[in-house]
C-alpha cells in the first residue's frame, strides 16, 4: 500500500513535467492549429540559454526572466522567417518543416554545449517538502508553477482581446481577417508565447531529468500524449492529461505483472489510443463539427 | 479541414510538348527509366547496386504510405511499425521455419495486410492530428514490443536475428547484390503497376472521394469505414513487403533498425517526393537513402543540422514535392490541347 | 612529440615487431601504400545517439596529431568516418561503402552492438579487420568463428562478475536490487552479475528502463520498496545521475554498485551531487579526466595538451574523449607493429600480439594483452570507492573471467 502511494506521488511529480510540456503544446495548437514537433527542442535550447546565463553569473530569477524574453523573441523570429513563406502549404509540409527544425536545433545544441549532462539549479531547492520524503520541494514547486501558468493561459484566452483574436485567427483565419485581425502577427505571437511557455517548462524540467540535447525527446511525446488525452483545445484538460499519464504509466509499470516493467511506455500509449477511440477529441476537447 | 490537409492530386495534364502528346512523353520517360534501372547492375560497383536496392525498397515503403496518406487522406507517422513487422516476419520464417526468402515476401505482405486492416478499424474514429499521434505511438512502441521478454524466443530480443544473404537462383550469372537488386526491382514493378491500377480503378476513385469529402462520399453510398480500413491494410501490405525485402538485403533485423526515426524518414520521403504522386515515391526513396550521407559529408559535428537545412531548402524549392515541381515545369512548356 | 611514457611502451612492443620476419619486405593490401593507410570508422553523428559521435571525432583529431608528428612508419593515416545514426541498416551501408568504395584497410571502432552485429558477418566474409569495436558485448572475442573481429574495452559481463565477487566476499547476506537499461548492454551486465553470484546471493528486484524514459524515479521507488540493501546500477550517465539524486532524496542508502559506463566524476557524480554520490563503488580501467586524483599526472597532461591543440571544441569533461584518445593509441601501436607488412592478415596478427601495452590514460598497472586465442584487449579493472570528491582505488587489479 505504501508502494502504491509512493508510485502515485512520483507519478504526479513526473506528471507535472508532462503537464508543463502539454501546456506549451496546447498553446501552439491554439495559435497555429498544428502540433509543433520541434517544440521540445526549442524548450531544450531555451534551457541551455538559461544554463549559459547562470554560468556567466546572472542571478537565477534574472536568468529566468531573460530566458523567457529571449525565447519569446526567438519564437516570433522563427515564425516570421521560416514558417511565414509556407503558411499556405498543406499540413504535411508543415510537419516536415517541424522535423527539419527539430534536427537543426538538436544538432546545434549538441555542437555548442556538448552532450554531457548539465545540472540546472532548482528555484525551489531539492530538499524534501516539509520534512517528509514523498515529494520534493522542486516537484511541488513545478506543479504549482504549472497550475499558475494554466490559470494565466485560461484568463488570456478567455478574457483578453489578444487571446480571443489569436483563437479566432487559428480557428478561422479568413473570417478573422475580415474582422480586422492581423492573422499573420497573431500566428507569430502564438509562436512567441508557445516558445516562452516551453522555456518555462524546460527550466522546470531540467533540474529533474538533467539538461542535455536529447532531454526533451521523450518528454515531448508524453506532452503530446497528455495534451491529446485532455483535449488539444483545453489547457485544463492538458494539465489533467499530464498528471493522468504520469500516474497511469507508473502504476502500469509497477503493478502489471510480467510485461508491465518492460512495456511501461507501450502500455501508457495503448491506454491513450484507447481513450481517443472512445473520446476522439480527448476528454475535455471540443468536437469539431464540419460543415457539409 | 480535409482540403487543407492534403495536397490535391491533379489528373495528368493533357497537352503536347514539342508536338508530341504528353502521354507518349510519359511512356518514353518510363521506358527510359526502366532501361537505366536495368543497366545499373552491370555498370556500377556492388556497393552502389546495394544502395540502389535499398532506395527501391524505401520507395516501395513510401508508396505504401502514399496510398494511405496521398490517396485516402489518412495520416501515418507509424509506418516503421509495419516495415518492422514485415522484416521480422521474413526473418522469423527464415530462421525458425527454414523457409526460402521468396516465400517470406507474400507472407510478410499478408501479415501486414491483416495487421494494417485491424489497426485501421479503431483508427477510423481518429482524424488528422489525432491519427498521426496514434500511429506515432505505434512507431515508438514497436521496438519495445519486439524486444520484450515474451517474444524473445522468436525475435531474438535486443540481439535481433542474423539471416543468410541469398545467392542468385538457377545458376544465373549474377552475384547476390545484383540478384537482390533485380528481385527488388521486379517486386517494385509489380507493386507499382498494381498501385497505378488501384488508383485508377473504381476502388481508387472511392478512396480519393473519401479523402476529399468523406461525408459526400458516404452520401454517395461508399462504405467509408470499409474502404478506409482496407486502404490501411493495403498500405501496410506494401510497407511490409518492403520490410521483408529490406531484411533480406541487410541480412539482419534488430529492434534498433525500426525506431521512430525510420517512421519519420519514410514520412519525409513521402512529402519531398510528392503527396499523392506515384512516381514521386521514387524520389522519396532516393532522398531517404542519400540525403543523410550528403548531410554528414557537409559536417560531422552538425550532421543533423545540415540534414535539417537541406530539408528546409527542398521544401522551399518545391513545396508540393518533386512531383509538384515536375508538374510545374512540364506545365510551363506544354501547349494545352484545349 | 610523443611522450616519453608512450615511447617506452612502444619501444617495448617494438621488439615484437622487429622479430616479425614479414617486416622485412613491403607488403600491402587494399587501403595501404607507401604513403598512406586508409582507416574506416562508423559512428552515430546524427540522431538520438549522437553523443557518441564525440568518440569518432576524438579519434580523427588524434590521427591528425599522428600525421603531424610524421605518421606511422612514414605513412599518413587517412581516416574516413561515416555516420550511421545508430541504425543497423545504415551501418551495413556505410561499412560496404568503406570497404568497397573507399577501399579502406580496416574498419576501426565501429560503434554499438546492433550496428556491429549487422556488419559482423560481412566483415568476416570479406576478410576485412573489424578492429577494436566500441561495444562491451562478449561476442567480439571469438577468434575461432570470427577471426576478423576484435573488441577493446573490458566486456560488460566481466565487470558484472567483478561486482559479484565483491558481494560474495563482503556482503554474503545481501539482498540485491538491479536497475538496468533494457538492451544488450544492460542485459549483459545483469547476466555477468547473476553468473558470478551463482544463486548464492538473492536478487530481490529487477527493474528495466528504456533509454526513452524521461526519468527512472518510479523504478527507484519500486526497488527501494523491495527491501534490498545492495543496489546494482546499470545505467547510462543521465539515468545514473537521476538515480543517485533520487535515492538521496528518498533516503535510500544501500551498498551502491555503479557500472563503469557512468562513473565519470565530472559528467555524472558532480551533476548528481557529491553528497549524494558519496560511498558509491565502481570499477575503472581508464583515468577520469575530471577526477582531481590525476591533476598532476603526466598522461593526463599530455591528453589535455592534445585536446587543446587538436580538438579544442571537444568536451573535456566527457569520458568519451579519453576513451577515443586511448583506443586510437592502441590502433597506432598495432600499425607500428605491422611495420611494412600492411596486409589485413598481418593487422589482425599484430592486433592479436599486443604485449603489456599500457597507453598513458589507462589506470596504473592495467595493460593490454592479446593473443591468437585471446581477443579481449583490456581485461583488467580495479575497484574504486567514491570519497565525495574523487575515486579511491582499492583492492587488487582484477582480471575478468569471461573469455580469458
Task: Report how far apart, in Å, the C-alpha atoms of C209 and of each of A12, A123, B271, C182, C219 are.
Answer: 19, 28, 34, 6, 8
**What is the per-residue pLDDT for C89?**
92
How much is the CA Rg of chain C, to the nearest whole Å? 21
- CB neighbour list of residue A171: distance below 8 Å, 6 or more residues apart: A33
Span C36-154+294-373: which CATH code? 3.40.50.2300
Length of chain A: 292
Beta bridge partners of C341: C27
Q: Where along chain B do its domains lie?
A: 20-260
C253 to chain A, any CB pair closer than 8 A? The answer is no
Q: To the nearest whole angstrom, how far is the Cα of C191 from the nearest Cα of chain B?
A: 14
- State the burial class of residue B24 (Cβ atoms within 10 Å of its Cβ: 0-12, 13-18, 19+): exposed
Task: Report how far apart, in Å, the C-alpha atoms of C95 and of each of C100, C173, C322 are.
Answer: 8, 49, 25
C-alpha cell at position C43: 559512428
Task: Return the residue in B1, B141, B215, B261 with the most chain A beta carbons within 10 A, the one to mutate for interface testing.
Answer: B141
Instruction: Give the DSSP per-residue string, C92-138.
Output: HHHHHIIIIIS--SEEE--B-HHHHHHHHHHHHHHT--EES-B---G
DSSP state of B258: G
C-alpha cell at position B245: 525485402
Contact between chains at C271 and A119 (C-beta distance less than 8 A): yes
Chains near B (3 or more Cβ pairs under 8 Å): A, C
**What is the per-residue pLDDT for B100?**
84
pLDDT tens digits, residue range A9-35?
A: 888 988 988 998 998 888 888 877 788
pLDDT tens digits, residue range A222-246?
A: 898 898 888 888 888 999 999 999 9
**What is the per-residue pLDDT for C24?**
56
Contact between chains at C93 and B51 (C-beta distance less than 8 A): yes
- Whole-number Å distance between alpha carbons of B48 and B51: 5
- Whole-number Å distance between alpha carbons of B230 and B204: 11
Contact between chains at B145 and A265 (C-beta distance less than 8 A): no
pLDDT tens digits, residue range C1-21?
A: 444 454 444 444 444 444 444
C219 to chain A, any CB pair closer than 8 A? The answer is yes
Chains near A (3 or more Cβ pairs under 8 Å): B, C
Instruction: Give the DSSP per-residue string, C325-361.
Output: HHHHHHHHHHHHHHTTEE-HHHHHHHHTT--SB--TT
Task: Return the residue in B315, B321, B324, B325 with the most chain A beta carbons within 10 A, the one to mutate for interface testing.
Answer: B315
Q: Where along chain C do its domains lie?
A: 36-154+294-373, 156-284+384-399
Phi, psi dihedrals of residue C84, rounded to the nearest 5°:
-115, 0
Per-residue confidence at A132, pLDDT binned at 50, 70, 90?
Answer: low
Residue B40 has pLDDT above 90, yes or no: no
Contact between chains at A104 and B304 (C-beta distance less than 8 A): yes
Please report the ipTM that was assigned to this predicted complex.
0.89
C-alpha cell at position A234: 483545453
> Which residues of chain A have a CB within 8 Å of the CB of B319?
86, 89, 93
- State the burial class of residue B100 (Cβ atoms within 10 Å of its Cβ: 0-12, 13-18, 19+): exposed
pLDDT tens digits, residue range C247-282?
A: 998 889 999 999 998 988 888 999 999 999 999 999
Scan for cell 551486465, then name that residue: C189
Length of chain C: 404
Nearest to A120 by CA among A183, A175, A55, A167: A55
Per-residue confidence at B93, pLDDT binned at 50, 70, 90?
Answer: very high
C-alpha cell at position C53: 559521435
CA B296 to chain centre: 24
C-alpha cell at position B80: 516503421
Span A2-278: which CATH code? 1.10.3470
Contact between chains at B149 and A228 (C-beta distance less than 8 A): no
> Which residues of chain A have a CB within 8 Å of the CB of B215?
290, 292
Q: To the nearest whole angstrom, how far is the Cα of C221 from the nearest Cα of chain A?
A: 7
Strand pairing report for C281-284 and C380-386: antiparallel
Contact between chains at B129 and A34 (C-beta distance less than 8 A): yes
Per-residue confidence at B6, pLDDT binned at 50, 70, 90?
Answer: very low
> Which residues of chain A have a CB within 8 Å of the CB of C250?
133
Contact between chains at A212 and C238 (C-beta distance less than 8 A): yes
First and final C-alpha spacing in chain A: 54
Three-state secondary structure call for residue B104: helix
Contact between chains at C89 and B246 (C-beta distance less than 8 A): yes
* Chain C contacts in chain B segment 138-177 (CB below 8 A): 140, 144, 147, 157-160, 162
Contact between chains at A97 and B145 (C-beta distance less than 8 A): no
Q: Give me the percent of chain C exceeding a pLDDT of 70.
A: 93
- Whole-number Å distance between alpha carbons of C159 and C401: 9
Q: Is the dihedral of CA C50, C52, C56, C58 positive or negative?
A: positive
Residue A291 has pLDDT above 70, yes or no: no
**What is the per-residue pLDDT for A169?**
84
Q: What is the mean pLDDT of residues C82-97?
A: 92
Cβ atoms B289, B299 nearer than 8 A = no
In CATH terms, the fold of domain C156-284+384-399 is: Rossmann fold (3.40.50)
Amino acid at each position: 500500500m505504501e508502494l502504491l502511494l509512493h508510485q502515485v506521488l512520483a507519478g504526479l511529480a513526473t506528471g507535472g513535467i508532462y503537464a508543463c510540456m502539454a501546456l506549451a503544446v496546447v498553446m501552439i495548437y491554439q495559435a497555429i492549429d498544428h502540433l509543433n514537433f520541434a517544440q521540445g527542442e526549442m524548450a531544450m535550447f531555451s534551457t541551455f540559454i538559461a544554463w549559459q546565463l547562470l554560468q556567466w553569473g546572472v542571478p537565477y530569477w534574472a536568468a529566468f526572466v531573460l530566458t523567457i524574453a529571449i525565447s519569446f523573441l526567438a519564437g516570433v523570429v522563427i515564425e516570421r522567417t521560416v514558417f511565414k513563406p509556407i503558411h499556405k502549404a498543406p499540413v504535411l509540409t508543415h510537419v516536415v518543416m517541424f522535423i527539419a527544425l527539430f534536427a537543426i536545433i538538436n544538432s546545434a545544441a549538441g555542437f555548442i554545449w556538448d552532450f554531457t549532462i548539465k545540472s540546472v539549479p532548482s528555484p525551489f531547492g531539492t530538499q524534501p517538502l516539509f520534512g517528509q520524503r514523498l515529494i520534493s520541494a522542486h516537484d511541488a514547486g513545478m506543479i504549482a508553477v504549472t497550475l499558475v501558468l494554466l490559470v494565466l493561459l485560461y484568463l488570456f484566452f478567455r478574457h483578453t482581446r489578444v487571446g480571443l483574436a489569436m483563437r479566432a485567427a487559428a480557428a478561422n483565419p479568413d473570417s478573422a481577417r475580415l474582422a480586422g485581425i492581423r492573422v499573420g502577427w497573431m500566428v507569430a505571437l502564438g509562436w512567441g508565447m508557445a516558445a516562452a511557455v516551453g522555456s518555462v517548462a524546460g527550466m522546470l524540467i531540467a533540474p529533474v531529468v538533467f539538461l542535455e540535447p536529447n532531454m526533451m525527446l521523450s518528454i515531448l511525446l508524453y506532452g503530446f500524449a497528455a495534451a491529446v488525452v485532455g483535449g488539444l483545445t483545453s489547457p485544463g484538460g492538458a494539465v489533467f492529461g499530464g498528471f493522468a499519464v504520469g500516474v497511469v504509466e507508473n502504476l502500469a509499470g509497477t503493478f502489471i505483472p510480467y510485461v508491465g516493467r518492460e512495456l511501461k511506455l507501450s502500455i501508457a500509449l495503448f491506454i491513450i489510443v484507447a481513450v481517443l477511440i472512445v473520446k476522439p477529441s480527448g476528454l475535455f476537447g471540443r468536437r469539431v463539427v464540419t460543415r457539409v | 479541414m480535409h482540403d487543407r490537409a492534403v495536397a490535391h492530386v491533379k489528373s495528368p495534364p493533357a497537352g503536347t510538348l514539342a508536338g508530341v502528346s504528353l502521354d507518349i512523353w510519359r511512356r518514353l520517360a518510363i521506358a527510359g527509366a526502366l532501361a537505366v534501372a536495368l543497366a545499373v547492375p552491370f555498370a556500377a560497383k556492388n556497393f552502389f547496386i546495394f544502395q540502389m536496392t535499398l532506395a527501391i525498397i524505401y520507395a516501395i515503403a513510401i508508396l505504401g504510405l502514399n496510398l494511405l496518406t496521398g490517396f485516402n487522406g489518412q495520416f501515418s507517422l507509424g509506418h516503421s511499425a509495419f516495415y518492422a513487422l514485415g522484416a521480422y516476419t521474413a526473418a522469423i520464417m527464415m530462421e525458425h521455419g527454414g523457409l526460402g526468402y521468396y516465400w517470406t515476401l507474400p507472407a510478410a505482405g499478408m501479415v501486414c495486410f491483416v495487421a494494417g486492416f485491424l489497426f485501421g478499424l479503431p483508427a477510423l474514429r481518429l482524424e488528422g492530428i489525432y491519427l498521426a499521434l496514434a500511429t506515432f505511438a505505434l512507431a515508438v512502441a514497436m521496438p519495445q514490443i519486439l524486444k520484450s521478454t515474451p517474444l524473445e524466443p522468436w525475435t531474438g530480443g535486443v540481439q535481433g536475428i542474423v539471416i543468410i544473404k541469398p545467392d542468385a537462383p538457377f545458376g544465373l550469372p549474377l552475384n547476390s547484390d545484383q540478384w537482390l537488386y533485380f528481385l527488388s526491382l521486379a517486386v517494385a514493378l509489380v507493386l507499382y503497376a498494381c498501385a497505378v491500377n488501384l488508383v485508377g480503378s473504381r476502388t481508387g476513385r472511392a478512396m480519393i472521394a473519401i479523402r476529399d469529402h468523406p461525408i459526400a462520399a458516404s452520401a454517395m453510398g461508399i462504405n467509408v469505414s470499409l474502404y478506409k480500413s482496407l486502404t490501411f491494410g493495403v498500405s501496410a501490405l506494401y510497407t511490409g513487403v518492403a520490410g521483408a525485402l529490406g531484411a533480406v538485403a541487410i541480412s539482419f533485423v534488430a529492434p534498433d533498425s525500426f525506431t521512430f526515426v525510420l517512421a519519420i524518414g519514410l514520412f519525409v520521403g513521402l512529402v519531398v517526393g510528392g503527396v499523392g504522386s506515384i512516381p514521386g515515391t521514387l524520389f522519396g526513396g532516393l532522398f531517404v537513402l542519400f540525403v543523410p550521407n550528403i548531410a554528414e559529408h557537409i559536417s560531422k559535428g552538425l550532421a543533423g543540422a545540415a540534414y535539417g537545412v537541406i530539408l528546409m531548402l527542398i521544401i522551399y524549392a518545391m513545396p508540393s514535392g518533386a512531383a509538384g515541381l515536375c508538374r510545374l515545369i512540364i506545365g510551363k512548356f506544354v501547349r494545352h490541347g484545349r | 612529440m610523443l611522450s616519453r611514457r608512450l615511447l617506452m611502451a612502444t619501444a617495448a612492443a617494438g621488439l615484437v615487431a622487429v622479430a616479425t620476419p614479414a617486416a622485412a619486405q613491403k607488403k600491402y593490401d587494399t587501403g595501404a601504400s607507401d604513403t598512406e593507410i586508409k582507416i574506416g570508422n562508423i559512428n552515430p553523428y546524427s540522431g538520438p545517439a549522437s553523443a557518441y559521435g564525440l568518440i569518432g571525432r576524438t579519434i580523427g583529431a588524434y590521427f591528425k596529431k599522428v600525421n603531424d608528428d610524421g605518421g606511422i612508419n612514414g605513412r599518413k593515416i587517412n581516416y574516413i568516418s561515416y555516420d550511421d545514426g545508430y541504425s543497423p541498416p545504415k551501418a551495413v551501408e556505410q561499412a560496404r561503402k568503406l570497404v568497397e568504395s573507399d577501399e579502406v584497410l580496416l574498419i576501426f571502432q565501429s560503434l554499438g552492438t546492433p550496428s556491429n552485429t549487422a556488419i559482423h558477418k560481412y566483415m568476416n566474409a570479406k576478410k576485412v579487420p573489424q578492429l577494436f569495436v566500441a561495444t562491451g558485448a562478449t561476442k567480439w572475442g571469438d577468434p575461432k568463428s570470427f577471426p576478423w573481429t576484435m573488441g577493446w574495452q573490458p566486456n560488460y559481463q566481466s565487470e558484472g562478475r567483478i561486482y559479484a565477487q565483491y558481494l560474495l566476499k563482503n556482503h554474503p547476506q545481501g539482498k540485491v536490487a538491479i536497475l538496468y537499461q533494457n538492451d544488450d548492454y544492460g542485459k549483459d551486465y545483469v547476466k555477468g552479475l547473476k553468473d558470478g553470484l551463482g544463486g548464492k546471493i538473492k536478487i530481490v528486484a529487477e527493474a528495466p528502463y528504456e533509454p526513452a524514459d524521461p526519468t527512472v524515479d518510479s523504478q527507484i521507488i519500486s526497488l527501494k520498496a523491495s527491501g534490498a540493501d545492495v543496489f546494482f546500477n546499470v545505467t547510462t550517465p543521465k539515468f545514473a545521475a537521476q538515480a543517485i539524486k533520487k535515492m538521496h532524496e528518498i533516503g535510500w542508502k544501500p551498498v551502491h554498485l555503479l557500472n563503469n559506463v557512468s562513473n565519470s566524476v565530472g559528467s555524472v557524480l558532480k551533476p548528481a551531487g557529491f553528497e549524494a554520490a558519496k560511498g558509491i563503488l565502481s570499477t575503472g580501467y581508464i583515468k577520469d579526466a575530471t577526477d582531481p586524483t590525476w591533476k598532476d599526472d603526466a598522461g593526463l597532461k599530455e591528453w589535455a595538451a592534445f585536446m587543446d591543440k587538436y580538438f579544442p571544441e571537444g568536451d573535456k569533461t566527457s569520458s568519451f574523449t579519453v576513451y577515443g584518445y586511448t583506443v586510437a593509441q592502441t590502433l597506432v601501436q598495432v600499425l607500428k607493429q605491422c611495420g611494412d607488412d600492411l596486409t589485413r592478415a598481418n593487422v589482425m596478427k599484430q592486433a592479436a600480439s599486443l604485449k603489456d601495452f599500457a597507453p598513458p590514460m589507462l589506470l596504473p598497472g592495467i595493460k593490454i594483452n592479446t593473443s591468437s586465442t585471446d581477443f579481449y584487449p583490456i581485461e583488467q579493472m580495479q575497484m574504486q570507492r567514491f570519497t565525495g570528491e574523487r575515486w579511491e582505488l582499492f583492492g587488487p587489479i582484477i582480471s575478468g573471467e569471461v573469455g580469458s
